[in-house]
Amino acid sequence: MQQSELDFVNNLRQSSPYIEAHQGKTIVIYIPSELLSLDSEEDERLFQLAKDVVLLNHLGMKTVITLGVELQLNEAFERDHLTWETHFNCRVTTKEHLKTFVETIGQARAQIESEFTEACSEEQSTLTIISGNWVTARPKGIIQGIDFQHTGALRKINHEAIARSLSIGQVVLLTPLTYSLTGEMFNLNSLEQAFSVAKALEADKLMIFSSPESLVDLPKQMSMSQLNALNTQTSEPKQKRLLSLIQSTHSKIKRIHLLDQNEPGAILLELFTRDGVGTMIFTDRYHHIRPATFEDVSGILMLIAPLEEEGILVKRSREKLELEIENFVVIARDDHIIGCAALYPMDEQSAEMACLAIDPAYQGQSLGEELLQAIEKQAMQNRFQNLFLLTTHTDHWFIEHGFKKAQVAELPEKKQSLYNYQRQSKVLVKALKA
């Protein structure tokens, strides 16, 4: 078997749990105008994304697409010698804009349908993409003396009709063109529409493609409390607008994924690989990861005591924990410690992860993964190349998260001399990627 074939088999095995987990789930995807402005003969990113959505459909996922057309409208208005105003990061759409607006939406929709038709043909799929008047709008109104005219605000979503289309395997396409109950046309913000539709459908995920500038220095995962803190610090305008929108509209959406619009296959890598390629925001959690302090010692001792009694963790005295508290990170929820882990330097190249524990009441929520990522990030910041750990019970979980079996002889000399042969702990190691 050739290496490429082995890689395929291994990748398929690794992705299979995610394929099963996502089957039957609903996702809303926001496609920005930058992907529509591509020359399809020079750049196939939109076509590849269409193929990826076809694949998601084959894997049993239900997909809604919301389409941004900001760049296309700018070009069309300039072509037709139409000027426009923007207030509060929102375009004022006048009656004079409507003809060009409707034409531009039609062209954008045609481009999407064309790409999907070709993708379906190439993938031998009978998938159809469908649009409709599922979203009802109302005037945005007059704000601080500014009349937004035909710029709309969302009034109602016929989520039952959208769900029926999804249930028969269709991909639903939504554009900024929406209507009032009297048939009046409105320009609705597509990204805000994506959030509203995700809420109405109780979608499992909202996946937002965005510019690299808006994603710079974002972590792999964030809670809302972390996002709130980051938004007060960022100076990048595009990032601040995106994070502010998430802050104001995130309720009832469990997972929001931010993806680089220039990353080929980003949606597949994010959904079906362990580490993903974007930033996942948890909106249904009220905890945060932080360095431990002396005030956390009692909470950590209470957390790890049952595991020590079972022999899963090595016993630590209060005095020892107080001396080593700077090595620990904790997950805190309402000042209650619900998880902990520690990082101990071993030599210039290696560090040890130890004492990973999650409160049983909060297990099954991927908190262990969050702690592992926090420890790995800390190790990489300290320029360690390898992360070791010793375990007697959870080696399979760590192997699933990238660790490999190792021998005692592979431990740094200092750690070898302290190895407890009576416990017979298994040695695992993970090479850290910079």
Say if residues 119 and 54 touch (Cβ distance below 8 Å).
yes
Please check whether residues 296 and 278 belong to one and the same domain. no
44, exposed or middle or buried, with CB in 10 Å at 0-12, 13-18, 19+?
Answer: middle
Residues 297 and 363 in one domain: yes
Number of domains in the chain: 2
Residue with the bigger pLDDT between 27 and 287: it is: 27
Average pLDDT of every residue of the chain: 91
Mean pLDDT over 192-199 rounds to 95
| pLDDT tops 80 at residue 123 | yes
Alpha carbon distance 82, 100 (integer Å):
9
Q: 131: Cβ–Cβ under 8 A, 6 or more apart, which residues? A: 109, 172, 173, 174, 175
Predicted pLDDT of residue 209:
97
Q: Is it the case that residue 251 has pLDDT exceeding 80?
A: no
CA pair distance 257, 248, nearest whole angstrom: 16
Q: State the residue for tokens 């994010």.
A: 270
Exposure string of 94-108, with b = 16+ CB inside 10 Å and e = fewer, is: beebbeebeebbeeb
12-26, 205-219, 274-288, 345-359: the lowest-pLDDT one: 274-288
Confidence check: pLDDT of 286 > 80: no
The DSSP call for residue 235 is -
237 and 294 share one domain: no
The per-residue pLDDT for range 345-374, each reduced to its tens digit, is 988 889 999 999 999 888 877 889 989 999
Mean pLDDT confidence for 118-135:
94
Angle at 96 between CA 92 and CA 101, to 5 degrees: 70
Asked if residue 297 and residue 207 are part of one domain, the reply reads no
CA angle 98, 102, 108 (to 5 degrees): 145
pLDDT at 4: 78
**How is 140-199 classified by DSSP, letter by letter?**
--EETTEE-BTBEEEEEE-HHHHHHHHHTTPEEEE-SEEE-TT--EEE--HHHHHHHHHH
- Domain range for residue 219? 3-282
Tokens of 137: 């709008």
- CATH code at 26? 3.40.1160.10
Confidence of residue 434 (pLDDT cuts 50, 70, 90): low
pLDDT of residue 42: 59
Task: Please tell me whether residues 252 and 333 are part of one structural domain.
Answer: no
Per-residue confidence (pLDDT) for residue 41, from 0 to 100: 60
Label the pairing between strands 86-87 and 90-91: antiparallel
Residue 209 and residue 60 share a domain: yes
pLDDT of residue 394: 84
Residue 62 near residue 24 (C-beta atoms within 8 A): yes
The pTM of this model reads: 0.72
**What pLDDT, on a 0 to 100 scale, did the predictor assign at position 324?**
94
Region at 186 (left for phi over 0; alpha for psi -120 to 50; beta for the rest): beta
Residue 411 has pLDDT above 70, yes or no: yes
Question: Over pLDDT 90: what percentage of the chain?
Answer: 66
Q: Residue 28's pLDDT is what?
A: 98
Please tell me whether residues 276 and 351 are part of one structural domain: no
Residue 274 pLDDT > 80: no
Kindly state whether residues 389 and 259 are assigned to the same domain: no
Based on the number of CB atoms within 10 Å of its own CB, is 380 exposed (0-12), middle (13-18) or buried (19 or more)?
middle
Last residue of some domain: 282, 310, 345? 282
Q: Which residue has the higher pLDDT, 43 or 46?
A: 46
Q: Which residues of 138-156 are buried (b: 16+ CB within 10 A; e: fewer)?
A: bbbeeeeeeebbbbbbbbe
Q: Which residues contact 317 (CB under 8 A, 6 or more apart)?
A: none
Instruction: Show which of 282, 298, 320 is a domain's final residue.
Output: 282
Residues 43-47 have a mean pLDDT of: 87
If asked whether residues 191 and 260 sit together in one domain, one would say yes
**What distance in Å separates the CA atoms of residue 102 and residue 33, rounded to the nearest whole number?**
15
> Is the model's pLDDT at 40 over the cut of 70?
no
Tell me: do 269 and 400 sit in the same domain. Answer: no
Q: Among 282, 306, 336, which residue terminates a domain? A: 282
Residues 315 and 271 both lie in one domain: no
Q: Which CATH number belongs to the domain containing residue 300 in this structure?
A: 3.40.630.30
Separation of alpha carbons 27 and 67, rounded Å: 14
Question: 130 and 220 share a domain?
Answer: yes
Whether the per-residue pLDDT at 39 is higher than 80: the answer is no
Which of 30-44, 237-251, 289-303 is the least confident region?
30-44
pLDDT at 68 over 90: yes
Helix, strand, coil percent values for the chain (each to nearest 5): 45, 25, 30
